[in-house]
Structure 1
Amino acid sequence: MNTNKIKNLARNATKSKDGRTVLSNFGYLTLLQFASYLFPIITVPYLSRVIGVEGYGKIAFASAVMVWVQTVADWGFLLTATRDVAKCRDNKAEVSRIFSETFFARCLLAIVSFIFLCLLILIVPDFKENAEILFVTFLMIPGYIMFPDWFFQAIERMRYTTITNLLVKTIFTVAVFIFIKEKGDYIIVPLLASLGTVAAGIIAMYLILKKWDYSLHRVSFHSVILAIKRSTDVFINNLFPNLYNSLSVVLLGIYDGSVANGIYSEGNKFVNIGQSVLGVVTRVFFPFLSRRIDKHRIYVVVYMGATFCIAVILFVSAPWLIDWLYTDEFADAIPVLRIMSISLVFVAMSTAYGTNYLIVQGHERILRKITMWCSLAGFAIAYPLIIHYSYIGVAVTVTFSRMCLGISSWLAVMKLKKNHLENK
């Protein structure tokens, strides 16, 4: 594509309402992601010295458990509710109905998750040992439900998400330096994060219910259950990757301790940041593609190109990044970062062809089957790899599973497109 074509594409995008909305949301989410890098750069060197690798390991263990809780509380609504609201965003009554059903369904699921977490703490020794930090970290879930990020995404008003998050992150960063002074203060980290999430949730509910005049009205228990059933395929699709992802971190903590968890967590941190960057493109395009699937090819080109660049940068700069931000005890995180950077390419494939095509097009069941089989394959290799290779085993498990998921999603979409052309 030559320079004139690029200029024409940019000019046409700014002229159309959809183009301006996409570009505006992209700008605000890019700013938010930039802040997501800036704030950790400020706090990570300080925290790594004060709370140490063991403290990081305990936080990583609790965070990995909360991934399961959060996945249950989400139950696929982050995609299905976003898609449904995006399609009827000009109908305030219908949007309010979807918002109400989704909110109360997530509350019900969070309560069930909390009960199950309490049972695990009573039964499993490692959970009982970390009960305090698990309960503190769980406080993020109510705030997470109150802050319906999916709703802002669906009505394509990401400016408010950005402003609220920037405010909360700034307060959190300042609080880290004020309240965390010694190794035992590691539990304050998730406490501050939880309080920040709840504060953001209160602000979000004010905007939705007061400023924009949407309603949160009483819904029947039957309608809540139906809403959960409609999102079950997407929930399964979101849940099963935890078999090879967060469960691997939990197994690593059980069999190799908090230090190994800390090394893997910090090696993977930069990849998570990379995923957050790519998530900007995904989140901007998802509601748009729900209305204009004909633009999917443009999205894939932009998304995969950006992913490849980020993956190469992380792989090459791994030694410098770890040495710059961490103490010498984190040196073993370098190979973890390099292995995980490769997985980014496959994450992008599964997102581009799975989330932003199969789900957008209503093929949740196809993606569910793909995710189940790929996750089970990852789960099968997780235990022996972790036992023999510790944190390196976790990195290999996650990368292999993501490779299977990405390639399988791409093949499924190619098959659907081929069948569509043959049936014309």
Structure 2
Amino acid sequence: MKQARDFFAFVALFTFLNCVAAWSQLQRASTPAVWVASWGASQQIPEPQNALVPDDLTDATVRQFFRLSVGGPALRVHLSNAFGTEALHVTSAHIARPVSPASPAIDPASDRPLTFAGNVEAVIPPGAELISDPVNYNVAPLSDLAVTFHLQSPPSRETGHPGSRATSYYVHGDLVAAATLIEPKHVDHWYQVSEIDVHAAPGSAAVVALGDSITDGHGATTNGNDRWTDVLASRLQSSPATRNIGVSNQGIGGNHLLTDGLGPNALARFDRDVLAPAAVRWVIVFEGVNDLGGLARDGEVPATQHAALVERVLAAYQQIIVRAHAHGLRVIGATITPYVGSTYYHPGPLSEADRLAVNRWIRTAGNFDAVIDFDSVVRDPQHSDQLLPAYDSGDHLHPSPAGYKAMGNAIPLSLFDRAN
């Protein structure tokens, strides 16, 4: 009798465990994959010296290369007319795998057209962007993607990202599918492409880096992908726990928290650059040096003006935190790095005191959700108001590639734990 009871108990337990396993498989199967920002760049109006003249963009093919962070079996591309004053007509756009960033050549076997609501042409309203239809196109993590588009007429006003640290090529004629571009002109800027999303595994997410030229990568190697955000993307891929996290670099050289500089101020661009990227879950806020440095750039001002500026910078941080929390984002503050000796800002003791005051607030528990102490990573231990010479690009403001590597390596990957 006991043996019979044991047998039926075993059968019941076996059936229960099978049901649990089946339910778990069903749950996994019913959890959809997500679109996640694998690459992104803040859009702005290119400065005159960084813009292409209308003749260059009349009946023109533009080919640009982008380094992705996460990979996946499908992708989509965002074309931007954010600062255009009239509709932008893109007559055709393609994606492909580039041969080398030092060449306009692509692998023709990898070339695929993009469509927009099923059409090969896209008409982007002024102030807007369009997301392409999904393309089944397998891309590896940390791989490069070429995006090529043709314009019959130039934009009424260009939208782009001058601080690309990547080479773009352009020629006349519709050559979006050409294996290479013959005798193209080239510039180290991006135009009209704002984001590339990858269809990634369930639970994938993105981290946005909101910053200025030190996030944008001034001092990094052109086509070298050695900004601190690139280092972070590579490290995230090295761990099974974080390899489904994308990195979107939303740094603009010369950007400010409080006033428009190069590109809109951080509060003005917050919705487009922080909230809009696909599957964003974290934002790293590393901005403020241009506000602090600009106050006394042309001559010292009273201490009361320094104190008022610090209060306004901290209030801007609080606005970012409130707005990010309203959308469920975790906000990570990064301390402002030293810049005494800067050949651009030449800060005095009051400006350095401002930086220290702002950094004390950033480090204070309960303000940001977490802190990355970039200041302690790159400062000279013997002269804490200056960059370590080995990490200095030479202008005493922007880190060198070695400095960016140290910054990227110093970011704890535990910050991106889903439990946080």
Shared fold by TM > 0.5?
no
- Of Structure 1 and Structure 2, the greater helix share is in 1
* RCO higher in structure (CA 8 A, sep ≥6): 1
TM-score (norm 1): 0.31
TM-score (norm 2): 0.31
Larger Rg belongs to: 2
